[in-house]
Amino acid sequence: MHDLVRDVAIQIASSKEFGFVIKVGIGLKKWPGSFGSFEDCTTISLMGNRLKELLEGLVCPLLKVLLLELNDSVDVPCKFFKEMKALEVLSLKGGCLSLESLKCSTNLQSLQFIECECVDLISLRKLQRLKILGFLSCYSSEELPEEIGELESVRLMDLTGCTGLRRIHVNLIGRLKKLEELLIGSKSFMKWGVGGTSRGGMNASLTELNSLSHLSVLSLRIPETKYIPRDFVFPKLLKYEILIGGDTCLRCQTSTILAFDSISITSLNAKTFEQLFPSVDQVSHEEKVLLLLSLTDLKLVSLSTLKYTWKGPTRHESLQSLTYLKLWHLCQLKFIFTPSLAQSLPQLETLEIKDCSELEHIITSKDDNYEGEIIPNSICFLKLKTLFVCICEKLEYVFPLSVAPSLLNLEELHIVSADKLKKYLVVEKEKIHPQLMEMASSCFLN
C-alpha cells in the first residue's frame, strides 16, 4: 500500500500542471523523452538511475531543482546547464564535470557532487550565491583552490570521503566568514599547516577555524598532535566529530564524538580538554551544552602510554551526555572508572573494551587520586544496553555489587578471552535480576 501511494503521488507531481519530473530508481539509462518539453519544469529528479548519456543541452528556464545520477564514465556536456539560469539546487552523483559549465547558473544556492570527477574548480568563484557546497567521496579531487575562499555566502562545506584531497589553500577556510558547518571527516584532508602565514605551498591551518565566528558544527581528523598549534582552542561548537591520531572511523554525523588514536598521552583530565576547548567556566550556563556537555562518543584507541581514562577531579556535569565509550588496545590501563567517574556517566549505553592486557577492574574500589571528591555510595548504569569485553586476560570481575540493581536495561553482554574472570558480578545470585543472571551465565567464551 505504501508503494502504491508513493507511485500515485509521484505520478500526480510529475504532471505538467505541477512542473515536476520525478523518475527515481526505475533503471533509466537515457534521458526520458516521453515527457516532451521541459520548459515548464521547476524540479527534475532522476536519482538512482545511472544514466549513460545526457542531452547536449536542455532548455529549462524555470528549473530550480535538478537531481541527477550518472554512470561514472559519462561526461556532462559543456552546454548542458546553459539554459538553466534559474537553477538553485544541483545534486550530481557520478559522471565527469567541468565546473566551467555552471558559469551561467549564478542563482545556485546548493551544489553537491557525490562520487563525481570534477575539474576546473576555480570556476566556482562565479557562484556567489552558494550557501551549501559539497564534494562527497569525490576521490579524484586533490586540491581546493584558493578561489573557493571568495564564496562569502557559504554556510556549509562538506568534504567527507575525498580520500585524494591533499591540499586546501592557506586562508581558504578562514575567509568563509559565514561558515556554520565544516565537514571533512576522518578519511579526507589531513595535512594541516602548522603555522598561520601565507607562504606559498602551505596548507590551511587549524587556526583559521578561530576566524569563523558562526561555526557550530565541525568534523575533521588531526593525524598528529604536531598539527595542533600552540595555545590553539577549538571554537564553541554545538556538535563535533574530532579524531586526533590514527584512523578510527567516526561513527555517524548525528553524534558528538571525540577520539584519540595512536598518540602519546598518559591520562585525560580537565586540562586535556581545556587545551582544545574553551573552559566551561568562561561561558554562561546556557552555553555549557556547546562544550563537553554535548559529547556523546569518546574513543580511546592504541594509546600505549595511557594509564588513566581520567585523572583529576571529576566534574559530574562534564560527561553527562556520554552514551558510547570505546577503549581498545590500551596496554597500561589497570582500571577504567573510579567510583566518582562512573557516577558521572548517567547516559552511558555502550561500553566496548578490547585488548587491555593489564586491566584488572572496570570500576576500582578506590578514589586515591581524586582527593576532595565525595565518593558515591552507589553507582548506576541505568541506560547501559551493550557491554563488550574482549582479550582482557587479567580482568577479575566486571562490576561490583552496587552496580547490579541498575543493569535492568542491559540487552547485550559479550565476554571473550577473559581467562582470570572469577565472577561477572561480585554479588549473591539471589540479588541479581533473573534476566541478567541468565545473560551472564551464557556470556563466557574463553
Q: What is the mean pLDDT of the chain?
A: 81
CA distance 66 to 87: 8
The counts of H helices and E strands in the chain are: 4, 25
pLDDT of the residue at 428: 42
Burial of 48 (0-12, 13-18, 19+ CB in 10 A): middle
Q: What pLDDT, in 10s, does the model give residues 362-391? A: 988 776 544 444 445 567 788 999 999 999
Instruction: Decide whether 1-130 matches 290-446 in CATH topology.
Output: yes
Exposed e or buried b for every residue in 227-244, given b needs 16+ CB within 10 A? Answer: bbbeeebbbbbebbbbbb
Backbone angles phi, psi at 94, to 5 degrees: 80, 175
Phi–psi pair at 172, nearest 5 degrees: -65, -50
Q: What is d(CA 427, CA 320) in angstroms, rounded to the nearest whole number?
A: 27
Q: C-alpha grid cell for residue 209? A: 577555524
The C-alpha angle with vertex 259 and arms to 254 and 262, in degrees rounded to 5, equals: 150
* AA letter at 20: F
Please tell me the distance from the alpha carbon of residue 174 to that of residue 270, in angstroms, as a whole number. Answer: 28
- At 288-337, the pLDDT tens digits run 344 566 788 889 898 888 888 876 655 544 678 889 999 999 999 999 98
- Quote the pLDDT of residue 20: 87
Q: Which helix (H) or strand (E) holds 297?
A: strand 297-301
Residues 6+ apart with CB under 8 A from 365: 339, 400
Task: Give me 412's grid cell.
Answer: 547485550
pLDDT at 1: 44
Q: How many CA atoms lie within 13 A of 415 on its CB side?
A: 24
In tens, the pLDDT along 189-246 reads 988 987 644 444 489 999 999 999 999 999 999 988 888 887 787 888 888 888 888 7
Residue 209, SS3 per DSSP = helix
Any idea where the domains of the chain sit in the sequence? 1-130, 290-446
**Is domain 290-446 annotated with CATH 3.80.10?**
yes
The CATH class given to the 1-130 domain equals alpha beta
Give the containing element (helix H, strand E) for 328.
Answer: strand 324-328
Separation of alpha carbons 294 and 313, rounded Å:
19
Percentage of residues of the chain with pLDDT beyond 70: 75
- Residue 11: its H or E element: helix 2-13
Grid cell 552496587 is found at 402
Give the whole-number percent of the chain exceeding pLDDT 90: 45
Distance CA 395, CA 423 (A): 10
Residue 427 has a pLDDT of 44
Whether the pTM exceeds 0.85: the reply is no
Contacts for 30 with CB less than 8 Å, ≥ 6 apart: 51, 52, 53
Top pLDDT among 391 and 262 is at 391
pLDDT at residue number 250: 58
pLDDT at 269 over 60: no
